[in-house]
Amino acid sequence: MEVIGIDLGTTYSAVAALAADGRPELLVNRDGERLTPSVVLFESPTGVLVGTLARRSAASRPGDCVQFVKRRMGEAAAVHVDADGRGYRAEEVSALLLRRLAEDAATALGRPVRDVVITVPAYFDDARRTATRDAGRLAGLTVHRLVNEPTAAAVGYGTHSGQDGVFFVYDLGGGTFDATVLRVVDGDYEVIATDGDRHLGGCDFDNLLIGYLATRIIEQGGPDVTRDPVLSAELRERCETAKIRLSTADTASVRLTVRDRTYSFQVSRSEFEDLSAGLLYRTELLLESVMDEAQLSWRDVDRVLLVGGCTRMPMVRDLISRLTHRVPEPGVHPDEAVALGAAVIAGSLTAPRPTVTVTDVTSQALGTIALDADTGQLTNFVIIPRNSPVPCRYEETFVTVQPRQSRLHASVTEGEDSDPEHVAVLHRSVLALPPGLPDEAPIRVVMSYDVDGVAHVETIDATHDRPLGAVALDRPANLDGDRLAASEAALAHLGVR
Ligand code: ADP
Ligand code: MG
């Protein structure tokens, strides 16, 4: 069995496999490209179009086009409703992308492709990871591992360069930002700390430019183009092009024709940098907080890896050199490193002896809400701290608070705050307690993360050492088994081209 690596990106996706000489290689898609735009166009009730052609239609047919779906992963709401009124969830649209990526990989490799490793942002929580795994299944693929993107990038770079030491990965992609510190020793990749922002990426830089120019159109007596789906899709495309141009040029022009009148603007790099200073500053704060978590100073960092298309912006490089006094590693391809590393990890999974070992960490703390005996307040108790190496298993013992207590309010939370109002509650249920428990009966809460970063929870009556039932994390935002099967059947009828 050969396993390939898939970087399922917010804006672009890439697929890589190991070549005969054992080095990872990017596979080109049916359009001859190394990167496939993560765009799905619903063409007709029977089929979808994926990739560059779909992306070109984004401006003219915004209503049929779905992009940035990764930002909606793990949400229960539909991200698209087709002409027949059928709603599609993020994992379903992602499944269509994955099917196309796998089909193209099969063509490139000349053999069927079923076994994959998929990369996810490090900060993806349990629901988003589960949704990604489900997307793989819906695409008819076997997902052997979910790997964190920064970790994959580090593995790709490390195996290629043979370098060891402390790596810092700054990954600013189309929709997301990740910052990760790893220690690399001899093919051993140990993540020390990671943090990120799900809503910080290239499209936020685009949005700023869109807002800025839309305001200038209004100032010149024009309409609010952001209210018109076709015009705003057009403006988005022009603004993204201008943003990319500003990475190498001092100025870029943006033209937009609105009701027979053409608006034309010159944007300078410094204007754009002023506009986006706040976004860049948010990445800086996250960098500092990751270094704090890792208890490292910039002097301890040996190599800085820049990943993601947005790291081509000169202001990112300036930020890195100001903070770290390091020059980013030149051997890292910002668009390809993640997929290449995923292919190395995929190959290692099936090799007779692993070529690399990866220890990742949890990006989210997991805990439960209980009464704090000292304060009498309902409090969130963290059971698995964030940045714990995975897989992991932690437990904590709580006691019942009332004599002959017959029921227990069980909850699972995500987040570090002790105030229950400031954490996400993943699960709440009422468990029946067996009769005859002593006062202050001990209840053990066992929480674990599997190697993919998916959470599992159990509660145990410690008096009788009997499970009170695994707390089925019935993630309301994920598909259950029946709906997964139904969705798989429905998607199988859609043609993907
Ligand atoms: P993702 O992995 O989230 O899909 P990518 O790493 O492919 O994202 O990055 C895509 C983003 O990078 C887009 O917002 C794109 O506009 C931006 N981008 C690509 N090239 C450049 C460039 N030269 N300068 C600035 N931004 C760029
Ligand atoms: Mg990416």
- Domain assignment present for residue 461? The answer is yes
CA–CA gap between residue 53 and residue 43 (Å, rounded): 11
Angle (CA) 224-228-229 rounded to 5° is 140
Look at residues 361, 381, 415 and tell me which one is the last residue of a structural domain.
361
pLDDT exceeds cutoff 70 at 31: yes
- In angstroms, what CA-CA distances link 167 with 154, 191, 336, 422? 7, 9, 18, 32
Measured in Å, how far apart are the chain's first and last C-alpha atoms? 26
* HSE-up of residue 207 (Cα within 13 Å, Cβ side): 9
Q: 116 and 25: one domain?
A: yes
Instruction: Output the CA 27–ligand 1 centroid distance in Å.
Output: 19
Spell out which residues line ligand 1, taking CB within 6 angstroms.
Answer: 9-12, 173-176, 201-203, 240, 243-244, 247, 308-310, 312-313, 335
Q: Is the pLDDT higher at 313 or at 77?
A: 313
Looking at ligand 1, which residue's alpha carbon is closest to its atom 2? 9
pLDDT in tens, 383-411: 999 999 999 999 999 999 888 888 888 89
- Domain assignment present for residue 479? The answer is no
* Per-residue b or e along 355-391, where b marks 16 or more CB atoms closer than 10 Å to that residue's CB: bbebbbbbbbbbbbbbeeeeeeeebbebbbebbbebb
pLDDT for the residue numbered 116? 98
How many domains, the chain?
A: 3
- Domain assignment present for residue 400? The answer is yes
pLDDT in tens, 336-380: 999 999 999 999 998 888 889 999 998 889 999 999 988 989 999
> Residue 307 CA: which ligand 1 atom is closest?
6
> Residue 12 CA: which ligand 1 atom is closest?
4
Q: What percent of the chain has pLDDT over 90?
A: 71
- The pair of three-digit structure tokens given for residue 196, joined into one six-digit string: 């990120």
pLDDT in tens, 132-151: 999 999 999 999 999 999 99
369 contacts: CB under 8 Å, gap ≥ 6: 378, 379, 380, 381, 409, 411, 413, 420, 425
120 contacts: CB under 8 Å, gap ≥ 6: 8, 128, 129, 132, 146, 147, 148, 149, 453
CA–CA gap between residue 259 and residue 220 (Å, rounded): 14
Residue with tokens 């009828």: 493
Q: 293 and 153: one domain?
A: yes
Residue-averaged pLDDT of the chain: 92
- In angstroms, what CA-CA distances link 396 with 376, 440, 445, 447, 473? 19, 15, 5, 9, 18
Considering only CA atoms, which of 6, 359, 308 is closest in space to residue 170?
A: 308
> Residue 35 CA: which ligand 1 atom is closest?
7
Instruction: Output the CA 14–ligand 1 centroid distance in Å.
Output: 13
Looking at ligand 1, which residue's alpha carbon is closest to its atom 13? 174
Q: 141 and 285: one domain?
A: yes
The β-bridge relationship of strands 142-148 and 115-120 is: parallel
Binning pLDDT at 50, 70 and 90, where does residue 85 land?
confident
Instruction: Output the CA 202–ligand 1 centroid distance in Å.
Output: 6
Mean pLDDT for the stretch of residues 71-81: 91
pLDDT for the residue numbered 476? 59
Q: 254 and 377: one domain?
A: no
pLDDT for the residue numbered 470? 62
Ligand nearest to the CA of 34: 1
Angle (CA) 343-23-359 rounded to 5° is 45
Q: 207 and 343: one domain?
A: no
Considering only CA atoms, which of 477, 56, 60, 430 is closest in space to residue 230?
A: 60
Instruction: Output the CA 493–ligand 1 centroid distance in Å.
Output: 33
Q: 326 and 379: one domain?
A: no
Mutate to test the pocket of ligand 1, among 52, 210, 272, 310 (most ligand atoms within 8 A of CB): 310
pLDDT exceeds cutoff 60 at 474: no
pLDDT for the residue numbered 472? 63
CATH number for the domain that contains residue 87: 3.30.420.40
Mutate to test the pocket of ligand 1, among 6, 8, 12, 280 (most ligand atoms within 8 A of CB): 12
- Domain assignment present for residue 489? The answer is no
pLDDT for the residue numbered 384? 95
> Residue 308 CA: which ligand 1 atom is closest?
6
Q: 268 and 283: one domain?
A: no
Considering only CA atoms, which of 366, 362, 393 is closest in space to residue 381?
A: 366
* Angle between helix 126-138 and 90-109 (nearest 10): 50
- Domain assignment present for residue 269? The answer is yes
> Residue 202 CA: which ligand 1 atom is closest?
14
Peptide bond into 391 cis (omega under 30): yes
CATH number for the domain that contains residue 467: 2.60.34.10
Instruction: Output the CA 58–ligand 2 centroid distance in Å.
Output: 20
326 contacts: CB under 8 Å, gap ≥ 6: 298, 301, 303, 304, 320
Q: 157 and 284: one domain?
A: yes
Domain carrying residue 207: 202-274
Look at residues 328, 361, 394 and tell me which one is the last residue of a structural domain.
361
- Domain assignment present for residue 480? The answer is no
Binning pLDDT at 50, 70 and 90, where does residue 97 land?
very high
Q: 170 and 270: one domain?
A: no
- Domain assignment present for residue 169? The answer is yes
Ligand nearest to the CA of 13: 1
pLDDT in tens, 421-454: 999 888 888 888 888 889 999 999 999 998 888 8
- The pair of three-digit structure tokens given for residue 146, joined into one six-digit string: 């979910």
pLDDT in tens, 156-203: 999 988 899 999 999 999 988 999 999 999 999 999 999 998 889 999
Instruction: Output the CA 262–ligand 1 centroid distance in Å.
Output: 28
> Residue 9 CA: which ligand 1 atom is closest?
4
Kindly provide the residue ranges of all beta strands, DSSP E only, lying in 149-238, ordered along the sequence.
Answer: 165-172, 177-185, 188-197
Looking at ligand 1, which residue's alpha carbon is closest to its atom 6? 308
- Domain assignment present for residue 488? The answer is no
pLDDT in tens, 231-271: 998 999 999 999 999 999 999 999 999 989 999 999 999 99
CA–CA gap between residue 16 and residue 19 (Å, rounded): 9
Q: 268 and 405: one domain?
A: no
CATH number for the domain that contains residue 220: 3.90.640.10
> Residue 338 CA: which ligand 1 atom is closest?
2
Look at residues 327, 361, 395 and tell me which one is the last residue of a structural domain.
361
Q: 226 and 288: one domain?
A: no
Looking at ligand 1, which residue's alpha carbon is closest to its atom 25? 244
Q: 158 and 225: one domain?
A: no
